[in-house]
Amino acid sequence: MTRSVFVAASLCVVLFASLSAGQRAGSGAAGLTPATRQELMKSMSSAAAYLRAQQSAEGTFDANPGVSAVAAAALLRQPGVPKEMLLDAGGKRALDAIVKLAKPDGGIYDKIVPHYITAVSVMALVAGGRPQDKPLIEKGRAYLAEHIWDEGEGVKPNDKWYGGIGYGGSDPNRRADIISLEYALRAMKEAELPANDAAWEKAIKFLQRTQNNSETNDQGWASNDGGFVYYPGFTYHSDGGTRSYGSATYAGVISYAWANVKKDDARVQAVLKWVRDNYTVDENPGMGQKTVYYYYLVFAKALQAVGQPVIVDAKGRSHNWREDLAKKLISLQHPEGYWVNTDKAELQDNKVLVTAFTMQAMEAILQP
Amino acid sequence: MTTATLPILEAAVLVVAAPLCGVALAVRRLRGAAPAAALFAAALIASAFWTILALGWSAAGGRALVSYATVGTIGFALAALGAWFGTSWRDPLDAAAFSVGIALLAAFGIFVSGPLAANLPTPVVNAALIASPIVSAASAADVDLLRTDLLYRISPLAHGRFDYPSWFAPLAAYGTLLLISLAGTARALRKGWL
């Protein structure tokens, strides 16, 4: 009974959102066409139904705390559906399962990759918006800010790892990377870490040292394409070297945005040049299909965050990225409602995780 | 190197040393086996004591203790395997080569199998991780070995789906190997191969 009421209500919301979106469509110079918006809403509704069907009785997804938190956040952020309805449709169970993982030091994780799991857990709790989770959110954001490499861990400002964050745990090696940092900064931003917190400035140091921009990067390897690598001096670009690649670069764009660096800043302008030179929604530039759904997520969130509705590529062609990405994602959806990558690296053979990534990318597309 | 990595390094040494010791003892019809076992246990206890002293009575210290228990079980099991092969085969060099070869395959096979490992089904990967003394010792110490910098960069395994073994899985697996190897050694000695 509850499920059928929820499905009926969701359909009404989708219909209403589509109609109202259609009325607004004419005003947006580079928004979605009414037809694409309607397709996108239908696609998200079908994806949400798929995800809900995968949830266990305990509230988890795929028996994996990271996947569970990403899926919970995607479902709880579904546009156009009232939060109470989302909470009742499995959201509360998912959040309760996350709350059980809270540690006294503020981390929210089971055993491994504590920084990443804490970041996605904080994002899920924020998406839930329950008052009782506020103390955990605040402790979680403090935990993340605390674990950014700095003098507290004996890392000096001239060290290449300074301001970064890694997977965490009992890792005998000091390391950090742009993807872990993007997750941490996104969680800190969503959890409203004050803009004057020292963690942001420290993170900016690491971002600069990960960017191929010799004007602001004090590392000897840096070139000048403006994009980002995985961590200072190391890339996953299929051609090797220290070439910038798609997902790292959009993670860099969005991290600058989270860290309150303005769009007209030279570092952001440099990376936007890379974006223009490498614009595509067909692959993760430099990596092919590897981690392409994370690429779609940061692509959408980054371009939405910097307020760049149209990208003029290196050949002078204009791209309405919202329309391009929406059509691409809709075309990739399986009839059952999920997405999955043909390349299984980084768990992208996991339908729940990839579907949750895609729903969050779609949510960013729909934001003004 | 940190204190937490000490049992992992000891496990790596044991992969080669333990089977060889087992074969050497088998050649001597297990004369001196008891003192050798006592010496190994004493060295392990001393190392564990030093580690826990460095880490203090904390969660990390407790995990190190579990890690040493894992290393100890693995050491005895691999030595027993060497002894079984040493008592079963006429040529000790064959026994040494096979027992060390099996131990090396279990320890490092999953790391060196490259893209093949990434395409294996998750249960197979998980079983291979239990079989690896290195991963088992690391996992018991709560060290995320596959996501350490070097392995994360070079091994496709780290980028796929896997679950580290729980602390009791390697203990059970190597405990079983120990019992089977001891039984095999006793049987071979009764048959009088040597």
Residue range A7-55, pLDDT digits in tens: 555 544 444 444 444 444 333 446 899 999 999 999 999 999 999 999 9
- Residue A314 to residue A146: CA distance in whole angstroms: 41
Per the CB < 8 A criterion, the answer to whether A229 and A248 are in contact is yes
Task: Choose from B6, B63, B144, B164 for mutation: most chain A CBs within 10 A.
Answer: B144
Residue range A204-242, pLDDT digits in tens: 999 999 999 999 999 999 999 999 999 999 999 999 899
Look at B144 and A234 and tell me if their CB atoms are within 8 Å.
Answer: no
- Residue A112 to residue B147: CA distance in whole angstroms: 10
Q: Would you state the pLDDT for residue B90?
A: 87
Residue A244's Cβ-side half-sphere holds a number of Cα atoms within 13 Å equal to 26
Please, is A196 exposed, middle or buried when counting C-beta atoms within 10 Å of its C-beta (0-12, 13-18, 19+)? exposed
The nearest CA of chain B is from the CA of A169 a distance in Å of: 7
Is the minimum CB–CB distance between A103 and chain B shorter than 8 Å? no
- Residue A204 to residue A261: CA distance in whole angstroms: 8
Residue range A93-137, pLDDT digits in tens: 999 999 999 999 999 999 889 999 999 999 999 999 999 999 999
The nearest CA of chain A is from the CA of B69 a distance in Å of: 19
Closest among A10, A30, A15, A8 to A326, alpha carbons compared: A30
Neighbour-count burial for B125-134, b at 16+ CB within 10 Å, e otherwise? bbebbbbbbb
Does the structure show a pLDDT above 90 at B86? Answer: yes
| Helix/strand number for chain B, H first, E second | 9, 0
In this predicted model, which residue has the larger pLDDT, A248 or B120?
A248
- Residue in A113, A171, A345 closest to B148 by CB: A171
Q: Would you state the pLDDT for residue A173?
A: 61
- Residue B171 to residue B173: CA distance in whole angstroms: 6
Here the tokens at position A203 are 């993170």
Tell me, what amino acid is at A16?
Answer: F
Average pLDDT over residues A65-88: 96
Tell me, what amino acid is at B185?
Answer: T
ipTM score above 0.90: no
Query: Which residues does chain B have within 8 Å of residue A170's beta carbon, measured at their own beta carbons?
Result: 4, 60, 63, 141-144
Is the minimum CB–CB distance between A315 and chain B shorter than 8 Å? no
How many other CB atoms sit within 10 Å of the CB of residue B123? 10
The three-class DSSP label of residue B166 is coil
Average pLDDT over residues B10-29: 92
Per the CB < 8 A criterion, the answer to whether A120 and A84 are in contact is no
Residue range B48-75, pLDDT digits in tens: 888 888 877 777 778 888 899 999 999 9
Q: Would you state the pLDDT for residue B3?
A: 59
Neighbour-count burial for A305-341, b at 16+ CB within 10 Å, e otherwise? bbebbebeeeeeeebbbbbbbbbebbebbeeebbbbb
Look at A169 and B160 and tell me if their CB atoms are within 8 Å.
Answer: no
Question: What DSSP character marks residue A38?
Answer: H
User: Phi and psi dihedrals of A319, rounded to 5?
Assistant: -125, 125
In this predicted model, which residue has the larger pLDDT, B66 or A284?
A284
pTM: 0.86
Q: Would you state the pLDDT for residue B193?
A: 53
B158 pLDDT tier (thresholds 50, 70, 90): confident
User: Phi and psi dihedrals of A310, rounded to 5?
Assistant: -125, 135
B155 pLDDT tier (thresholds 50, 70, 90): confident
- Residue in B1, B143, B149 closest to A175 by CB: B149
Look at B4 and A172 and tell me if their CB atoms are within 8 Å.
Answer: yes
Q: Would you state the pLDDT for residue A20?
A: 45
- Residue B32 to residue A271: CA distance in whole angstroms: 69
Classify the C-alpha dihedral B56-B58-B63-B66 as positive or negative.
positive
B157 pLDDT tier (thresholds 50, 70, 90): confident
Q: Would you state the pLDDT for residue B161?
A: 86
Residue A59's Cβ-side half-sphere holds a number of Cα atoms within 13 Å equal to 20
From residue B102, alpha-carbon distances to B19, B99, B106 in Å are 9, 5, 6
In this predicted model, which residue has the larger pLDDT, A211 or B35?
A211
A176 pLDDT tier (thresholds 50, 70, 90): very high
Look at B161 and A347 and tell me if their CB atoms are within 8 Å.
Answer: yes
Is the minimum CB–CB distance between B59 and chain A shorter than 8 Å? no
Average pLDDT over residues A60-67: 94
Here the tokens at position A216 are 């602001």
Question: What DSSP character marks residue A98?
Answer: H
User: Phi and psi dihedrals of A312, rounded to 5?
Assistant: -95, 115
The nearest CA of chain B is from the CA of A167 a distance in Å of: 8
Q: Would you state the pLDDT for residue B192?
A: 67
- Residue A249 to residue A274: CA distance in whole angstroms: 8
Is the minimum CB–CB distance between A151 and chain B shorter than 8 Å? no
Task: Choose from B63, B125, B149 for mutation: most chain A CBs within 10 A.
Answer: B149
Look at A172 and B1 and tell me if their CB atoms are within 8 Å.
Answer: yes
- Residue in A171, A234, A345 closest to B160 by CB: A345
- Residue in A171, A345, A350 closest to B159 by CB: A345
Q: Would you state the pLDDT for residue B4?
A: 66
What is the residue-averaged pLDDT of chain B? 89
Question: What DSSP character marks residue B164?
Answer: P
Q: Would you state the pLDDT for residue B189?
A: 87
Does the structure show a pLDDT above 50 at A177? Answer: yes
Q: Would you state the pLDDT for residue B37?
A: 87
Residue range A295-333, pLDDT digits in tens: 999 999 999 999 989 999 989 999 999 999 999 999 999
Give A102's strand partners. Answer: A108
Look at B142 and A234 and tell me if their CB atoms are within 8 Å.
Answer: no
